[in-house]
Structure 1
Amino acid sequence: MAEAKESSQFIKDDGRVRLSHELSEGEKKATEKRKVKVLECLKSLNIACIEDKMPNIAMLGSGGGQRAMIALLGTLVDLKKQGLLDAVMYLCGVSGSTWCMSFLFKEKDWTEKVQDLEERLCETLSNPQCDIQKATATQAAEDELFSLTDDWASFFVYLALKQYDKTKLSEHKDTSTNGTNPYPIYASIEANQLDKAGENSPETWFEFTPHESGFPSLGAFVCTKDFGSKFKDGDLKEKREEKNICYLPGLWENALGSMEEIIQYLIGTDISVC
């Protein structure tokens, strides 16, 4: 009965900011399940280790827009062919790599069919240009706070991905905790802290997972489904609808952390739409 009660408490969202440097309960449960897969993979590679001393292998995807997205997917496909993908505990990314990750984690068992997903993405990227005006209008109608981030997500990211994804990051919990796939961590830069602390400071990093989002350096997190809602003194004061996956890459892109970078990109980019 005690275990059942703990499980229900972990699932319940109490509407508060969690102040702790501990991993979230969701991440703990996900990595515990993933350990089974990792140990099996290491054993098949003739790497002997016990659970308490097994390495925590993380794969980090870099930024670079559509090129980073394609590069990460190609690397994952090759890891699968080499029998190494199941050894990965965490899959982390910034900018264009997160586009690849959010595409994959819509699939419950993506590590088992990553080659098929690669072909699907290639077909999607080969499609004619999407209706950006329709996407932008849809996003504006859904949210009263329509900003430069929305423009970036709906315009540049949407054009790169050739699809308008209305799923939510919190809906990727099952895909992240079933033990079949690595646990995902999406990273972004907090622009205000970037100006104060500098680009190499851990205080500038903001993490997103299907369970929680927040500042790991500060140990301050909220449930991902509450990201974008209003909090005061650690309590949820105004609940807002969770942003969809088409919006979040605008934050993960990190270009918004520097207005100079945005201006340089716009000046040097042909933004005509067919």
Structure 2
Amino acid sequence: MRTRQLIWAVVFASVIIPLGCFQRSNQISNQSQTVAVASQSPSPTPTPSPTKSVQAQQINKTWASRFSIRTVSINKNHEGSRGYEISVDCPLIIKARTRGTRRFNRWMLRKIRGYVAQFESLERAAEIHDKRKRLPKVGIDESLEIGYVVYYSDNRLISLRLTHTVMALGQMHPIDYYETINYDLKKGHDLRAATVFRRGYLKAFSSYARRELRNKYDLDDQWSSEMLERGTRPYRHNFKNWNIVPDGLLISFEDYQVGPHAFGQPEMIVPFQQLKRVIHSDSVCALFTREKSARN
């Protein structure tokens, strides 16, 4: 269900609904999402920074992985009243010899092909509409690009992030949308927050992220401060992009979520020790915390 909703949300937004900076900002301020259930959760203290940056910083790091990855690319170009380009990359495990790895490859390829099919379908519908209305050719080529980064993999887990880059009529610039995937190779599905974290995890995420961002970045003007406050409230949609990595939880913020477009899309790692109270004891995260405790 989550994947199907994300397919339609991204592709529908890229073709039917003109997106501008103002709309993206309004989307972030949507207050209708479910608020985290109040519970006792940790309030970790971020590491102080001597100077504050005005530009978002990303985690340019990957961890040692069990599997090697190959890329299957799909590239298409359509010329017409609704010209568009498609350029997507699909990550597949090389030498997928186990049931879990083969199942992951099929699941991943089906997902990427589904995004392409949905985009093309909606573009065709838009082109038919324009022809019936005798509308002039769109002045820009709309586009869908999908790239990926694999952060980590072992015999149980593969942690990666897809970046959907969309250019659509009405936008001033392309907009990136993240989709994080933590695929359980043994159970054969993408992990959900409810199976990894206990109640109160959103409050822990919110507390850490808000303090870390304020401590690290210069976001003191009124507009940026308000965006940061809204974008780090303990709502599921604010913290839907997380990846399990050996050092902790890598959280990715989307464009316009915690600052203006010029600021960028920050990332951070919340150490596992800061999340012990909100991690299920039988989750993949708990395996990392036990391994760290054993080494210490």
Do Structure 1 and Structure 2 share a fold, with TM-score over 0.5? Answer: no
After TM superposition, the score normalised by the length of structure 2 is 0.23
Question: Larger strand proportion, structure 1 or 2?
Answer: 2
Structure exhibiting the larger radius of gyration computed from Cα positions: 2
After TM superposition, the score normalised by the length of structure 1 is 0.24
Question: Larger helix proportion, structure 1 or 2?
Answer: 1
